[in-house]
Amino acid sequence: MGWKTLDDMDLQGKRVLTRVDINVPMEDGRVTDATRIDRIVPTITDIRAKGGSPVLLAHFGRPKGQPSAELSLAQLVPDLEAAFGCPVIFVERPSRDFIDAQTSDAVILVENTRFSAMEEANAPEMAGFLATLGDVYCNDAFSAAHRAHASTAGVAAHLPSCAGRLMQAELQALEAALSNPKRPVGAVVGGAKVSTKLDLLENLVKKIDVLIIGGGMANTFIAAQGAQMGASLQEADLHDTARAILAAAQEAGCRVILPSDGRVSRAFAAGAPHDIIPLNADTVLEDDQMVLDAGDAAASDIAAAFAELKTLIWNGPLGAFEIAPFDTATVSAAKAAAQRTASGDLITVAGGGDTVAALNQAGVADDFTYISTAGGAFLEWMEGKELPGVAALMT
């Protein structure tokens, strides 16, 4: 694939500069979701097992180049120690002398890289300084790989570089899902707005066999065909774009599935009264009616499409999954995909914050082949864009 992994590196006695993503949610000084910490444990464990000492680089929040006590990585030390099963040495102002004074298997955590404005500017001075802190560079932060920052791209030019276990898993999963998939390959693309996923849709229709569109995005496509969608979320200024995407899909031989029916309500609220109505070019909703979810027929159509696929990529929910009953289609489709995955008939790769939340709500997150921890990086990879943090690892 053009990049090395920890298996390719001699780490004995080396200080391994390791970029991780531990930008975890916190409330009242406590970590509320340690998933990102848990997922870097294999990399830390393997570096130490190979005789190396991890020197962790990470960002936290958006300090805008200024130190902030509230965004200090020092507060994560207890959680990191619990996950790693060893002490973590925190250093605010690192130097190579300080690092070399620690034991050969020490885990060292450097203060928030974004406390310096040079980080996000990818300043050569900062990349060069960071390189002095290690002998090998390991990037395990795929979720930050779409940023050309000093700690994600710049430093890789100065040291022998490789992907950590999480980065490796992300890249292999995406390679299997999009670059070299088992066919037929399909994608579920949902969410609120077409405008946020134009590049994604334009790239996917050229590479996949079936495209399933859901959420508010689907409303825009249905309206573009002539439907009057009432108060439904949709982007009237993108009707021409939607039609162009459908034409490009047809030309590329990609079948597009839009909801054949939808759950319609006059209130965006949990338990709101609703009807299931057909959705097509002739649909006419009243001014206060909204499509908030795909209907039962649409869910059946999606499950039938899954039965024909070998690979499925999922990004975005099919409706307002945060509130019942408008989570019905998302949950139904997620369970159908999970069942096919469990039987060994389907490779499923999902990513994006709302997607992960929706799959967790459906209780099937653990049943998918791979769930990406990345948001923007996952989306940009699917859009076909080069990720600076990945490109920097290429040999």
Which pLDDT does position 376 carry in this prediction? Answer: 85
Please choose, from the candidates 2, 256, 17, 267, the residue with its C-alpha nearest in 3D space to the C-alpha of residue 141: 17
Q: Count CB-CB contacts under 10 A for residue 2.
A: 9
Residue 59 CA to residue 61 CA, distance in Å, equals 7
Please choose, from the candidates 62, 86, 55, 59, the residue with its C-alpha nearest in 3D space to the C-alpha of residue 73: 59
Q: One of 50, 193, 207, 266 is an active-site residue; which one?
A: 193
Whether 2 is a known active-site residue: answer no
Residue 127 CA to residue 122 CA, distance in Å, equals 7
Q: Are strands 261-265 and 290-294 parallel, antiparallel or unpaired?
A: antiparallel
What burial class does residue 16 get, using C-beta atoms within 10 Å of its C-beta: 0-12 exposed, 13-18 middle, 19+ buried? buried
Residue 345 CA to residue 214 CA, distance in Å, equals 23
Tokens of 256: 């597009």
Please choose, from the candidates 377, 19, 58, the residue with its C-alpha nearest in 3D space to the C-alpha of residue 386: 377
Whether the CB-CB separation of 96 and 132 falls below 8 Å is answered with: yes
- Amino acid, single-letter form, for residue 367: D
Which pLDDT does position 79 carry in this prediction? Answer: 98
Tokens of 121: 């500017």
Helices (H) then strands (E): counts for the chain = 15, 17
Residue 4 CA to residue 18 CA, distance in Å, equals 14
Q: One of 61, 226, 253, 353 is an active-site residue; which one?
A: 353
Q: Are strands 210-213 and 26-27 parallel, antiparallel or unpaired?
A: unpaired
Residue 294 CA to residue 40 CA, distance in Å, equals 37
Whether 335 is a known active-site residue: answer no
b (16+ CB within 10 A) / e for 138-173? bbbbbbbbbbbbbbbbbbbebbbbbbbbbbbbbbeb
In whole angstroms, what separates CA 129 from the centre of its chain?
Answer: 30
Q: What is the DSSP letter of 273?
A: -
Residue 261 CA to residue 180 CA, distance in Å, equals 33
CA dist list (Å): 281 to 252, 260, 287: 23, 10, 17
Whether the CB-CB separation of 167 and 173 falls below 8 Å is answered with: no
Which pLDDT does position 331 carry in this prediction? Answer: 96
Cα diameter, the chain: 74
Which pLDDT does position 341 carry in this prediction? Answer: 97
Whether the CB-CB separation of 245 and 205 falls below 8 Å is answered with: yes
CA atoms within 13 A on the CB side of 369: 22
Q: One of 36, 114, 147, 263 is an active-site residue; which one?
A: 36
Which pLDDT does position 297 carry in this prediction? Answer: 98
Whether 50 is a known active-site residue: answer no
Whether 36 is a known active-site residue: answer yes
In whole angstroms, what separates CA 94 from the centre of its chain?
Answer: 31
| DSSP 3-state of 328 | helix
Continuous H helices in the chain: 35-38, 41-49, 77-84, 96-100, 117-120, 124-131, 165-174, 198-204, 215-224, 239-252, 296-306, 328-342, 353-362, 376-382, 388-391
pLDDT per residue, tens digit, the chain (395 aa), is 689 999 999 999 999 999 999 999 999 989 999 999 999 999 999 999 999 999 999 999 999 999 999 999 999 999 999 999 999 999 999 999 999 999 999 999 999 999 999 999 999 999 999 999 999 999 999 999 999 999 999 999 999 999 999 999 999 998 888 888 999 999 999 988 999 899 999 999 999 999 999 999 999 999 999 999 999 999 999 999 999 999 999 999 999 999 999 999 999 999 999 999 999 999 999 999 999 999 999 999 999 999 999 999 999 999 999 999 999 999 999 999 999 999 999 999 999 878 888 998 999 999 999 998 788 888 888 888 899 999 999 96
Continuous H helices in 211-309: 215-224, 239-252, 296-306
CA atoms within 13 A on the CB side of 162: 17
